[in-house]
């Protein structure tokens, strides 16, 4: 029994550690009132993470979910309604970012194809069974050749391949794979884009490249949150994109990590 207090303390520490990400999400996002904070929580629980589709963006630690939470917050500060925010997310990430996607030809196809495959497979099994029963009941002529070997499991391979192809095609058309792929590409391209942004002689980044750089920087900073220079670069990228929320939060983090940084101090005072 003497070990019980220590075990309880360990469990409490684990609960606090697990709850830290949720608290961090709210701490860096000041809300006007409790109603706005409640609306933010409800919205983030109703939107699905494109990377880990079993979790909402409120529960996911993926970088793309962090980006989506920040965007929801920014749109709320701009006065957008709940439906306008959902419409924005659907337009950017696809219908399956919500847990209740609308009825479209693609969603109908996604539901009908598996059902049609099951019905067709059942019909084939029933038809083959009836044919075998009928052949067994009918007397065979004397000159009928002996039956060959029964077909093995290989006969089912084409059907399995078709089912997998249909599933993969349905996910590619209706899921969020393109958005996840774009996020992965932005992460891989971030070092080269950063070198171009820092090189005065290089061609300036266009808006699309700047957005990819910002996404790549956010991914890197999630792994290395103590990088003050990285936060400064993210702040500059946010300013270039007109994303005040990203710029403000990034400069605040840079100033917190390096109060002697004049650029971060100046940007923080302008908030």
Q: How far apart are CA 146 and CA 140, in angstroms?
A: 11
Is the pLDDT score of 162 beyond 50? yes
In Å, what is the CA distance from 190 to each residue of 45, 165, 220, 230, 243?
Answer: 30, 33, 9, 12, 18
| Nearest of 83, 67, 90, 94 to residue 216 by alpha carbon | 67
Asked whether the beta carbons of 44 and 70 are under 8 A apart, the reply is: no
* Same fold for the pair 4-94 and 177-269: no
Structure tokens at 66: 């962090």
Gap between the Cα atoms of 96 and 90, Å rounded: 8
Mean residue pLDDT across the chain: 74
Contact 97, 89 (CB under 8 A): yes
Query: What is the band of 270 on the pLDDT scale with cuts at 50, 70, 90?
Result: low
Query: Mind listing the pLDDT tens digit for each residue in 8-40?
Result: 555 555 444 444 444 444 445 778 888 888 899
Is residue 83 within a helix (H) or strand (E), and if so which, with residue range? helix 82-93
Minimum mean pLDDT range among 108-112, 149-153, 233-237: 149-153
Annotated domain spans of the chain? 4-94, 103-134+166-174, 177-269
Task: Answer whether 229's CB lies under 8 Å from 251's CB.
Answer: no
Asked if the model's pLDDT at residue 56 lies above 50, the reply is yes
CA distances, 139 to each of 94, 142, 144, 230 (Å): 61, 9, 10, 84
Task: Give 51's pLDDT tier (boundaries 50, 70, 90).
Answer: confident
Phi, psi of 205 (to 5 degrees): -75, 140
- For residue 48, the cross-strand partners are 56
- Residue 139 pLDDT more than 80? no
Instruction: Please give the DSSP secondary-structure letter assigned to residue 156.
Output: G
Angle at 139 between CA 134 and CA 145, to 5 degrees: 100
Contact (Cβ atoms closer than 8 angstroms) between residue 86 and residue 98: yes
200 falls in which pLDDT band (50, 70, 90)? confident
Ranges 4-8, 20-24, 107-111: which has the least confidence: 20-24
> Domain 4-94, CATH 3.30.70.980 — does that match?
no
In the predicted structure, residue 167 carries a pLDDT above the cut 70 = no
Please give the CATH topology (third level) of the domain spanning 177-269: 1.25.40
Identify which has the larger pLDDT, 133 or 230.
230
Cβ atoms 246, 221 nearer than 8 A:
no
Which pLDDT value is given to residue 85? 92
Which of the pair, 187 or 48, is modelled with greater confidence?
A: 48
* Alpha helix stretches (DSSP H) within 28-62: 34-46
What is the pLDDT, as a whole number, of residue 49? 85
């Amino acid at each position: 029994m003497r070990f019980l207090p220590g075990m309880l303390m360990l469990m409490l520490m684990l609960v606090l550690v697990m709850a830290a990400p949720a608290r961090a999400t709210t701490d860096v996002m000041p809300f006007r009132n409790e109603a706005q904070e409640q609306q933010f929580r409800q919205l983030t629980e109703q939107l699905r993470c494109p990377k880990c589709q079993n979790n909402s963006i409120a529960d996911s630690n993926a970088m793309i979910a962090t980006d989506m939470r920040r965007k929801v917050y920014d749109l709320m500060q701009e006065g957008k309604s709940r439906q306008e925010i959902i419409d924005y997310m659907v337009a950017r990430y696809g219908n399956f970012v919500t847990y209740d996607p609308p009825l479209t030809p693609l969603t109908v196809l996604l539901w009908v194809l598996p059902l049609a495959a099951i019905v067709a497979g059942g019909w084939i099994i029933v038809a083959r069974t009836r044919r075998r029963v009928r052949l067994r009941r009918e007397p065979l002529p004397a000159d009928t050749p002996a039956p060959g070997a029964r077909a093995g499991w290989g006969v089912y391979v084409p059907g399995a391949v078709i089912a997998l192809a249909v599933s993969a095609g349905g996910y590619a058309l209706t899921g969020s794979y393109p958005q996840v792929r774009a996020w992965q590409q932005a992460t891989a391209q971030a070092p080269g884009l950063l070198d171009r942004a820092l090189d005065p002689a290089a061609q300036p980044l266009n808006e699309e490249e700047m957005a990819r750089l910002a996404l790549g920087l956010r991914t890197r900073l999630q792994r290395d949150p103590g990088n003050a220079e990285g936060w400064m670069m993210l702040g500059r990228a946010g300013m270039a994109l007109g994303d005040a929320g990203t710029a403000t939060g990034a400069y605040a983090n840079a100033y917190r990590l390096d109060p002697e940084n004049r650029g971060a101090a100046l940007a923080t005072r302008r908030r």
